[in-house]
Structure formats: C-alpha cells, structure tokens
Structure 1
C-alpha cells in the first residue's frame, strides 16, 4: 500500500529530527533547528508534531517498531553466525534507508549522555537491540558484548558515510562484511569485487 503524502512528510521530519537528536541530544535540539533541517517553517513543523516531546516520542516509536520487526525476523534462528548475518543485513538495510533514526537508536552505545535522559537510554529500551543478537548485556559474555557493540557502532558510522558518499548499494555488502568481522566471523563471505574475491 503506497504511503500518503502526509506519511512521507512525517517520515522525512522524523528522519531529520532523529539525526539532530542523535548529534546534539534532546535538550540541545530546538524545534526551529528541526524545521530548518527538513525545510519547513516552525509552524509547519508544529502542524505535524505539536511539541518537541511528541516529535521525539514519534522517533522513538519508529525505532522501537523497527527493532521489534528485526527481532521478529531473527528470533526463530538459533544464536550464531546465520542469525547474526541476517540481523546485520536487516539492520544495514534500515540504516541505509533511515540513517538518522539508526544514529539515534545506536548513539548511546558509543557515547551515552547521562545528562540527557531522553537520548541517553534509547538503545536500552528493553534491550531489544541486544535481543536481536541473542545477548543479555547484563549477564552475557563480555567479549560478545564488546563485539556486538563494535559491530553496531561500525554499522551506524558506515551507513552514514555510505549515504553521504551516495554509495548505499555499493557499500552495503562491505558494511555487512565489516560488521561480521567485528563479531568475530573474519572473512565470512566477503563481498565479490571486480578483481575477484576481496
């Protein structure tokens, strides 16, 4: 079912807002900055989202829905390389389409801001991002925790870079391979290059 114009505009607003929240935190992101980033007047932005809290909550909801969707698609797979690969492929696809939302979701993994409770704990929302990788961050193996956090941080940074470089399709297999390397699956199905295997 095709999206309505309003749904498309709301998605663009949420993507722009999420990117700013991820970069500057909730407290330091103004509605005017969001409006400027998405090409609306402040009044136009308020027509879609009546408050900054409503805007942030909507972005959190999108992150939660996407996390739950990915978790649902891998939950039946046993922990291990096949599950991790599938999870990374799904997360990379989301990140390439919605880099701001992924940056908001994964930002606290690399730079938690305890002074900004809104953006400081979004990834901790039920630990869903860790459940995707069959990991309990409180009791799980510390090496596995570090590897998952490293893979997710690489995913976020590389997806943003791919979008900025206009290389979403070309970089996708390399991002997945890099994240698999971070998880300890060295050279697990490296992408083909025009010169043969990478």
Structure 2
C-alpha cells in the first residue's frame, strides 16, 4: 500500500521541483524552496531524493520519458500542420497534468544557455516540431527559417504559461481547447477544428 503513495509523492515533488528549476535555474533553486513548495521539511524531502543533483536528474529523466512517449506517438506523421496539431494536443495534456515538468523540458528551448549543456535527449522538443530551435533568428545560415523557429518557441512559451495558469485557476477542462487554439495560432496554423477533443 505504501508504494503507490510514495510514487505519487515523488511525482508531486518532481513536478514542483521542475517548476522551480525552470523558473529559477538549478543554482538558484534551493532544497528548502522545493520542500516548502510540497509541504515537507528539508529532511523529509531528502528522504525522497538524497540531494539537489539527484532531484534535478530525476526531473529531467521524467521530462525525457514524456518526450519519448510523445515522439513515439508522432512517429507516423511527417512534419507539417497535422503533426504540429497532434503534438500540441499531446503536450497540452501532459502540461495540464504536470506543468512543472513541461516548463523544465521547454527550458531547453526557451533558455538554452541558462543551464549546463544538455544531452541530445533533452532536445526532444526540436524533434517533435521538426525544427532546430537552437538556431537564433539572426543566423542567416540556419536550415530552418527564422519565422518557424520563432513560432515554435512562441507556441511552447504560451503552452507553458497557459497550462500553469489553468492549473492555478482550476480551469483545466475549460482552458484546454483555448490553449491548443492559441498555440496553433502561434505556429501559424489557425484554429484547429478539433481543439476540444482529447
């Protein structure tokens, strides 16, 4: 009986820690801040994760696992509108369930120089949208047009912020189709006809 509770507690800790890491970065996020966010003492938090490095590594691993699942579900779709909309659908559901993990995963795109170098596995967002988001908009030799890079980063930023807000307001169901529509607009696809369907 204790095992499912432990897994649920670990998932909650990882989500809160991920949100703090995404917002403040690794160096500026203290174990006390994470413990306070989940209602534990620092000693209680250390019972779940032995140190900040282990917590950070676990958060990134869960984000990678979610990214791999999304990529697996998109594998049959070629790059384009249909793939983008399906990706938004999948990512929105994950973000509404675990907004901190998604914010941390998107940090690799929205603030790539803020943390130590990331593994290729941490860049799954670029694969999902078939774009090299590490390229700056002023790089004229970029393989991807700057407009596409800007649109993907804009959509991901909107997704992270809006799903956090939906969770804070307790409006996940009502906000879901609006979040997807906003992100689809950011990508230049207009409103998807099935934004409300899971």
Fold shared by both chains (TM-score > 0.5): yes
Mapped to 2, the partners of 1:57 and 1:47 lie a distance apart of 16
Matches of 1:131 and 1:73, distance apart in 2: 12
For the 8 Å contact 1:177–1:190, the answer to whether it is kept is: no
Determine if contact 1:18/1:59 at 8 Å carries over to the other structure: yes
Alignment correspondent of 1:105: 105
8 Å contact kept, 1:109–1:123: no
Q: CA-to-partner distance for each residue in 1:50-71, whole Å, 9 max, x for gaps? A: 0100000000000000011101
Q: Counterpart of 1:57 in 2: which secondary structure?
A: helix
Gaps spanning 5+ residues in structure 2: where? 136-142
Instruction: Note if contact 1:174-1:190 (Cα within 8 Å) is conserved in structure 2.
Output: no
- In structure 2, do the counterparts of structure 1 residues 25 and 126 end up closer, same or farther at CA, with 3 Å as the change threshold? closer
TM-score of the aligned structures, taking structure 2 as reference length? 0.86
Determine the structure 1 residue equivalent to 2:72. 72
Write the distance in 2 (CA, Å) between the matches of 1:191 and 1:87: 12
Corresponding residue of 1:195 = none
After TM superposition, where is structure 1 displaced by more than 6 Å over at least 4 residues in a row? none
Aligned residues of 1:177 and 1:189 also touching (Cα < 8 A): no
Q: Which runs of 5+ in 1 are unaligned?
A: 193-198
Q: Aligned match of 2:124 in 120, 125, 128?
A: 128
TM-score (structure 1 length as normaliser) = 0.86
Find out whether 1:157 has 2:153 as its counterpart: no
Inter-CA distance 83–160: structure 2 relative to 1 (3 Å threshold): same
Deviation at 1:122, TM superposition (A): 5.2
Specify the SS of the correspondent of 1:188: coil
Shift of 1:80: 1.4
Task: Determine helix, strand or coil for the equivalent of 1:12.
Answer: helix
Alpha-carbon RMSD: 2.0
- Mapped to 2, the partners of 1:191 and 1:52 lie a distance apart of 38
Is 2:19–2:100's contact at 8 Å kept on the other side of the alignment?
yes
